[in-house]
Structure 1
Amino acid sequence: MNTNNFIRKVIKKDLNKKKYFKIKTRFAPEPNGYLHLGHAKSLYINYNIAKDFNGKCNIRFDDSNPSKIKKKYIKSIKKDIKWLGFKIDNVCYTSNYFLKIYNYAVELIKKKLAYVDELNSKEIKKYRGTLKTIGKNSPYRNRSVNDNLKLFKEMKEGKFKEGKMCLRAKINMLSPIMIMRDPILYRIKYKEHIKTGNEWCIYPMYDFSHCISDALEKITHSICTLEFMDNKNLYNWILKNITIKNKPKQYEFSRLNVEYNIMSKRYINKLINKKIIKKWDDPRILTITGLKKRGYTPFSIMDFCSRTGVTKQNNIIEMSLLENCIKNDLNKNFPRAMAIINPIKIILENIPDGYEERLIINNHPINKNMGKRKIYFNREIYIDKYDFININKNKYNHPIIGNEIRLKNAYNIIIKYIIKNKDGVIKKIICTCKHEKNQNYKYIKIIHWISVLHSIPAKFYLYKRLFNKINPLKEKKLINNINKKSLIIKNGFVEESLKTAKIGNKYQFEREGYYCLDKIDNKSNNLIFNLIINLNNKYRNKNI
């Protein structure tokens, strides 16, 4: 990350002027869904700013709307934060401050800066006006302080139905800034809260509770994304008009947008409801659980957050940046293995039945500390069918009999003849093996392979981008832009050395790509691997 971005410059200036002696930031997710890559960047920014300036960073769950929050989301967010490698100083909840927030609402009423309104939601919207037309005052705007206090107390006591009344700030219905046209501060909700139970039936709106929670926690710099720029006016107005000691300042940076992806929890929920994806951990979306399931590492995600920087300019980040971050990590730190994703059987006719040769090879071409492993060479092997196909103007032709090919870490083989079924599909290829050591193969194609006798059945989930458009949310119908080939499932084999692989283990399957072991099928004993990222092999990638 640029250690001299505009937020850090502000903080340095504040410290030099002794405006603050201790920096305190916060990461405030709403537990109404799972964390995504945008949340990870916000956490990364807040945490590292606090760390680098010897300050502190709070986690605060914005649980002010009991209709949306769930315990499973809180549990998941905590788990993701820990997995990403963050050690947070303090975990807080907006609900911890409900009584204090309520008292500040009473204070605004007493100052004639808030009133109880009986307009319904449609009427409030109509009275508010538009960006082109001014708003007009509610007929209930000029109630007496005593009437407002009485009605607000009765709202708290549950004497009115949902939607019957709300508490609004009395600011300016003529303001060019829409949010300043008497925003709602409290609404009635008869919904049990996961932490406070049925203690409350009125709940503060986010804009009211958020700034007060920041002040109560002594946050110095409230860092958020650009869509909250107008909200800063209300943030400052509330803190100015209540008797609270601390006055945090809000600073905005550009929201993270990644091409061919969405990170809106609302739209992800739509995808789940439409059964386009199953759950929040689908590897095709950029939730932290989805990225983890696909095989992304905490380091790669933090590396990506660092590279995207902190600016006020909205833009769309290329997906290749995220892919390069994971590829760099996997290439250096994870072992190699061999997998056959599109298997076809080779019979080496000059190798006798029962013959077996054990070969010892490195797990990593450079990092010798990763050790070695055994592979086996036999009469029957699997190779990938695309290694026996040449592309010529998009037409597939079988190679000439007599072609010589090198088996990686083993020997050269020569194609003798091809056996097909009645439909013309290749069943197996008969070859001969040049069973010689130290053969010259400088100008011979090298392919990967697996012994049939020492193979393990596996399924490969090959993921591509979920959307066909760079910016899916700009399209009229999100669903119409779904890539119907975003998931392809293949049945193949992996080498026997992976029989002890654990869930989450990652490998570079040579000449194929990087894969993560997602699960083991209890019925078939198949290992199920998720594609993390392809290697730079355009021909092979085209055919998955």
Structure 2
Amino acid sequence: MIEEGKATLRMKQDMQSDNFNMYDLIAYRIKFTPHPHAGDKWCIYPSYDYAHCIVDSLENVTHSLNRLVTERWVDGWDDPRLMTLAGLRRRGVTASSINAFVRGIGITRRLSLQTWMPIMDLDAKKWPDAPADDASSFYKVPFSKVVYIEQSDFRMKDSKDYYGLAPGKSVLLRYAFPIKCTEVILGDNETILEIRAEYDPLKKTKPKGVLHWVSESSPGVIPLKVEVRLFDKLFISENPAELDDWLGDLNPHSKVVVTDAYAVPSLRHAAIGDRFQFERLGYFVVDKDSSPEKLVFNRTVTLRDSYSKGGK
């Protein structure tokens, strides 16, 4: 009888492969350890690496996250679009939310398809409100003659179901004053260059629309520039595993990068991992790609998330 550790069964592989980790892997080795189910019936067991192949075959696993990473469809194992622990952490999902999600699943042998929604819901619903008497609940923002609003919050043509700004229409700048659009400056190709408005310092106007905004910190000084990364579901279909060309189902808009977004000055000293709620936009976390010159924010979840119940 061959003693434990004296012999192994190796796989015959390509010794010219660029991946030296694949050179003649150990497939089986001798272990005189009782198996939890088979007892002492066997003494030859697959190695950890080879066991992956066997399990994938038995469980009909046909798709691998590894391909998404190695072929650079995503930005590594911690890409916020992946449901890896590193990806969830980088996206800003809290540890308590992940733990609660895992406890909710329990241990099962049933084939199940997990989605983003339960994790996102856990995180958003448990986001704490700042105490009213805490100094961190308040911060000052400048209000100057030049303010910036979202491009989507302005239209040249108004409608009854639209609550944004339009020529001749009033909206409320959140925490500030009502304003009314009086003139629109257009450039080439009818591009909107500037919106001129008057504000109501007495707040007599009571518009329905409320907009978030960012102001110049001082005359002629543009607001703090940051990079914002907006993430959506990685695949278009609810179950890409059912498709022959599952890579062709990748969502081309799963990651949108806004390189020159404007933010309030108080964010200047934010640190990596800090989480914030950007009003009307969602929850965001400071990414590890941030530098002293420019902060990078990853969107954790929107306030009204568009992920479908079966989305990935």
Work out whether the TM-score is over 0.5. yes
Q: Deviations over 1:136-165 (max 9, x none)?
A: xxxxxxxxxxxxx3xx4699368xx9448x
User: In the alignment, does 2:82 pair up with 1:285?
Assistant: yes
Other-structure match for 1:502: 271
Other-structure match for 2:178: 412
Q: CA deviation at 1:315?
A: 3.0
Other-structure match for 1:477: 245
Q: CA deviation at 1:441?
A: 5.5
Q: CA deviation at 1:474?
A: 2.5
- In the alignment, structure 1 segments of 5+ residues that lack a partner are 1-148, 165-191, 194-200, 216-233, 244-263, 334-363, 539-544
User: Secondary structure of 2:117's partner?
Assistant: helix
Matched-pair contact (CA < 8 Å) for 1:380–1:453: no
Distance across 2 between alignment mates of 1:235 and 1:154: 19
Distance across 2 between alignment mates of 1:476 and 1:265: 11
Matched-pair contact (CA < 8 Å) for 1:513–1:535: yes
| Candidates 450, 454, 457, aligned match of 2:225 | 457
What are the equivalent positions in structure 2 for 1:244-283 lying under 5 Å apart? 267-283=64-80
User: Secondary structure of 1:489's partner?
Assistant: strand
User: In the alignment, does 2:63 pair up with 1:299?
Assistant: no
Distance across 2 between alignment mates of 1:302 and 1:310: 13
What are the equivalent positions in structure 2 for 1:42-81 lying under 5 Å apart? none
Distance across 2 between alignment mates of 1:441 and 1:403: 11
- In the alignment, structure 2 segments of 5+ residues that lack a partner are 13-19, 44-60, 307-312
Distance across 1 between alignment mates of 2:41 and 2:180: 85
1:429–1:392 distance in 2 versus 1, CA, 3 Å? closer
What are the equivalent positions in structure 2 for 1:14-53 lying under 5 Å apart? none
Other-structure match for 1:327: 124
User: In the alignment, does 2:303 pair up with 1:535?
Assistant: yes
Other-structure match for 2:212: 448
Matched-pair contact (CA < 8 Å) for 2:286–2:296: yes
Q: Deviations over 1:345-400 (max 9, x none)?
A: xxxxxxxxxxxxxxxxxxx4x6543431111111111111111138999xx9x964
| Candidates 337, 355, 371, aligned match of 2:137 | 371
Matched-pair contact (CA < 8 Å) for 2:11–2:26: no
User: Secondary structure of 2:93's partner?
Assistant: coil
1:276–1:392 distance in 2 versus 1, CA, 3 Å? farther
Structure 2 counterpart of 1:447, one-letter code: L
Q: CA deviation at 1:278?
A: 2.4
Other-structure match for 2:58: none
Bigger Cα Rg = 1
| Candidates 195, 198, 205, aligned match of 1:429 | 195
Structure 2 counterpart of 1:236, one-letter code: H
Distance across 2 between alignment mates of 1:402 and 1:204: 78
| Candidates 463, 479, 486, aligned match of 2:254 | 486
| Candidates 26, 37, 47, aligned match of 1:236 | 37
Matched-pair contact (CA < 8 Å) for 1:518–1:528: yes
Query: Identity over aligned residues, as a percent?
Result: 24
Q: CA deviation at 1:522?
A: 4.3
Matched-pair contact (CA < 8 Å) for 1:457–1:526: yes
Extract structure 1 runs of 4+ deviating beyond 4 A. Answer: 152-155, 201-205, 390-393, 440-443, 520-523
Distance across 2 between alignment mates of 1:316 and 1:391: 44
Distance across 2 between alignment mates of 1:294 and 1:537: 15
User: Secondary structure of 2:266's partner?
Assistant: helix
User: Secondary structure of 2:80's partner?
Assistant: coil
Matched-pair contact (CA < 8 Å) for 1:520–1:526: no
Matched-pair contact (CA < 8 Å) for 2:11–2:27: no
Structure 2 counterpart of 1:479, one-letter code: L
Q: Deviations over 1:417-460 (max 9, x none)?
A: 11111111111101111122xx2565431111111226210111
Other-structure match for 1:156: 6
Distance across 1 between alignment mates of 2:239 and 2:283: 26
CA RMSD of aligned residues (A): 3.5
Distance across 2 between alignment mates of 1:399 and 1:500: 32
Distance across 2 between alignment mates of 1:449 and 1:467: 32
Matched-pair contact (CA < 8 Å) for 1:404–1:412: yes
Q: CA deviation at 1:401?
A: 2.2
Q: CA deviation at 1:468?
A: 1.3
What are the equivalent positions in structure 2 for 1:172-183 lying under 5 Å apart? none
Distance across 1 between alignment mates of 2:232 and 2:73: 14
User: Secondary structure of 1:377's partner?
Assistant: coil
